A and B are shown apart, each in its own frame.
Chain A
């Protein structure tokens, strides 16, 4: 049994940069690389792609990531754990095998399935029917380490999953390597703290942190992603590859520890109810932070399920005004658009970019800026109807206030997400092996 395990996180969302993961595998001396690529909505979008083509439905960047990483993963003997399977882990595993064959590399892939509970939707109905939100697309339960451990017990180089709880991607290899008991809630809690600190990748190493002059981060262009060297007692020392940019210190670790946390004494995962309140962080060297003290209570009986539904379309239009009375002209344009569209849209939003568009207020602290961009958004059942928003904004060129410029228009399909719960015993995870 190992006395320590080193896990790196090379992606914190589906669109994350590829280079930091490569750097981690080449120089991080890792045992495991995790790529976390599945946000709440991502899987519903993937399910839509799978409906159109049964061989798709996995992460759109899977091919590019695997092509770049695979030779180094095998050479450095680093096992990859990733949720890039999205709505179709089996097709993703086959795609990885295809890539390996093309590169003449031997690879074994374990695909974890069972998170797709769409066929059980009727069992999930609570008070209000789920279908009241809109036509349903997908329903995926958040699986935990129980689903990943059997895959780790095989000799697979790559473990690819669909929806699993993000921290479980990291906790699973720790439990696998150290043989932590499913009843040792404090170890599971501490392992969940480790997973939570790593799961957003660059979030721990100075990404999403910098504020020039106040919170400076060096060489952000070459931001490195983090790894954790974890001891069998759960103590973890976080670091990043020497020579990469970024910053890992108490401040960056604290911001990430609390990121998206509701009650810090009860962080719910499929594996444990983790308690973050006793976590101790210490700087143990340059770009090095030690974390210990995570605790836990027995896991919840039910699993969270994300249900995706079709929520219609959003139409957007933008146009800029600059110079004297820019805000006044933009506000006149907004009023004109409001009058022209209000009968056709129940849900219309008018924002003034550069003033109040993001926080919907400026707290009265700031003077009017030199330039303003009007932004109008409306929701509609069809793409054609949604397009009216951009068309009306563009028409301000000849039918609006003076000197509007740079009009742009967009239409996007909307996918909504609602959450519900499912009994654990209704979900049965499964592992399927593939090899090149």
Chain B
């Protein structure tokens, strides 16, 4: 069945200039392979749509376990000059957690 990332993982957003970072950390380590298989850089790019103008790179941290997404041109100019409400993109962790994946028998 379809589940939201919110159901099985948590996330924190960070910013460097106009680049957004999003961690994706499963509550249970056993859910890591599910995230690794379905939450690809391409899938996240498609999910976030207009939020991220540039490329998304995914890094895998199997020891934690966690995934890290680095999103270029995601903050409409970055914290210092952007006209957006959330200039840091701090709330965007919960935009990632809105993404839906196939949760199998979950």
Contacts and interface: CB of A to CB of B under 8 A. Distances in A.
B79 A41 contact: yes
Contacts of B66: 254, 258
Contact of B12 (A40, A255, A278, A360): A255
B68 A359 contact: no
Contact of B51 (A260, A314, A359, A378): A359
A275 to B, nearest CB: 11
B85 interface: yes
Interface in B54-106: 57, 59, 61, 63-64, 66, 68, 70, 78-81, 83-86, 91-92, 95, 98
A263 B83 contact: no
Interface string A200-228: 00000000110100110000000000000
A147 B61 CA distance: 33
Given A41-B80, A257-B64, A363-B98, A262 B10 contact: no
Contact of B83 (A209, A211, A281, A379): A379
B50 A415 contact: no
A261 B14 contact: yes
Interface residues of B, number: 36
A115 interface: no
Nearest to B91: A358
B83 A260 contact: no
B64 A360 contact: no
Interface string B38-60: 00000000000111000001010
A256 B12 contact: yes
Given A262-B19, A363-B98, A375-B85, A417 B50 contact: no
Contact of A258 (B12, B49, B79, B84): B12
B35 interface: no
Given A254-B23, A351-B85, 12 more contacts: A40-B79, A255-B11, A259-B21, A261-B21, A263-B59, A280-B63, A358-B85, A358-B86, A359-B95, A360-B50, A361-B50, A363-B98
Interface of B: 6, 10-12, 14-17, 19, 21, 23, 25, 27, 49-51, 57, 59, 61, 63-64, 66, 68, 70, 78-81, 83-86, 91-92, 95, 98
Q: What 7 A-B pairs are tightest by C-beta distance, nearest first?
A: A260-B14, A258-B23, A349-B83, A255-B12, A377-B83, A416-B81, A416-B80
